Amino acid sequence: MTDHGVADTVDDERPQGEAARPHRHADRPLTGGRIDTWRHPLTVRLTHWLNVFAMTILVMSGINILMAHPHLYWGIRSTFADPWMSFPMAPDWLMVPMRRDLGAARGWHFLFAWIFVLNGLVYLAFITISGRLQRMMEPTRADLADIPHSIVEHARLKFPKGEEARRYNVLQKLTYLLVLLVLLPMMLATGLAMSPMMNAALPELLWILGGRQSARTLHFLAASGLVGFVFVHVALVVVAGFTNNMRSMITGWFVIEPEKEDAE
């Protein structure tokens, strides 16, 4: 069974029309056995780049906010003499705005938090309704069995070619799922739990997270996890073919290299 996976986006659900005319998102053969395939629909591309922008502002204004009290604690209150973690002063260029200014940084942070949440909801609604979530990110049984092999391939910086390149590999799927279903919702939940008015509206959230100081520490840890993800994510985009990957996230089209020798 060939897995058309990525190519079968929702756009393919329109009526077939005259059988002879190829679908506008059908594969396009290129020279040398390479194939141009349709990979990322417009909604995914737009929400992805808006998210990159919003998260950049959120992280940089977040650092500015952290600098107002660069200590983290666990639990329901600060134990000033005994912080769990303390930070040195961050350089100005790492912050939004580019000088320590808690009031302004909070303004930026909350504006972009709204953009991040609304944009994230649009993206999550899209991938759920269109079936992209299941089709592209849900690991198959074969995927799970392939985890050790996939780890080795990543370590050797070898990326799939041919039919396999149409699909996200299992580590990629699991990472995206972790980011989309764990880290990003965690950012929102821990962020809301730090708001005193939200504590009144939804005290359960505060209890579940273990108190405001735990929520603040978890907010920082989840953000660090996301920053770590971005470094690995961008590094893999670069080593797996920077222009091809970027082209796919900008135009939607992705080039598949032919397999050198027939694998299976």
Partner 1 sequence: MIPERRGLILGAGAALALGGCDRVARTSGLQCSLKKAEQVSQRSQRALARDRLAPEYEEKDISSDFRANGSVDPQASDYLALKANGFRDYRLILDGLVENPLSLSMTEIRARPSRTQITKHDCVEGWSAIAKWKGARLSRILDEARVKPEARFVVFYCFDALDQTEDGDRYYESIDVPEARHEQTILAYEMNDQTLPIANGAPLRLRLERQLGYKMAKYIKRIELVESFDHIAGGKGGYWEDRGYSWYAGI
> What does the binding site for ligand HEM look like in residue numbers (CB under 6 A)?
39, 44, 48, 51-52, 55, 127, 136, 176, 179-180, 230, 233-234, 237, 245-246, 248-249
Closest approach, Cβ 16 to partner 1, in A, equals 16
- Residue 32 binds partner 1 (CB under 8 A): no
Closest approach, Cβ 19 to ligand HEM, in A, equals 30
Residue type, 142: A
Query: By the 8 A CB rule, do 63 and 95 touch?
Result: yes
User: What is the footprint of partner 1 within residues 158-217 (CB under 8 A)?
Assistant: 194-203, 206, 212-213, 216
Closest approach, Cβ 210 to ligand HEM, in A, equals 25
Using CB under 8 A, which of 15, 17, 32, 103 touches partner 1? 103
- Residue 85 binds partner 1 (CB under 8 A): no
Question: Measured between alpha carbons, how far is 48 from 42 in angstroms, rounded to an integer?
Answer: 10
258: left (phi over 0), alpha (psi -120 to 50) or beta: beta
Question: Measured between alpha carbons, how far is 186 from 194 in angstroms, rounded to an integer?
Answer: 12
- Residue 106 binds partner 1 (CB under 8 A): yes
- 258 is in the binding site of which of ligand HEM, partner 1, none (Cβ under 5 to 8 A by kind)? none
Question: Measured between alpha carbons, how far is 236 from 241 in angstroms, rounded to an integer?
Answer: 8
- Residue 98 binds partner 1 (CB under 8 A): no
Q: Find the length of the chain.
A: 264
Question: Measured between alpha carbons, how far is 253 from 38 in angstroms, rounded to an integer?
Answer: 5
Q: Please return the burial class of 253, using the count of CB atoms within 10 Å of its CB with bins 0-12, 13-18 and 19+.
A: middle
Taking CB under 8 A as the binding criterion, the range among 52-60, 126-134, 157-165, 166-174 that sits at the site for partner 1 is: 126-134
Query: By the 8 A CB rule, do 71 and 86 touch?
Result: yes
- Residue 110 binds partner 1 (CB under 8 A): yes
Question: Measured between alpha carbons, how far is 179 from 173 in angstroms, rounded to an integer?
Answer: 10
Catalog residues that contact partner 1 under the rule CB under 8 A: 10-11, 13, 41-43, 46-47, 50, 65-66, 68-69, 71, 73, 76-81, 101-104, 106-108, 110-111, 114-115, 118-119, 121-123, 125-126, 129-130, 194-203, 206, 212-213, 216
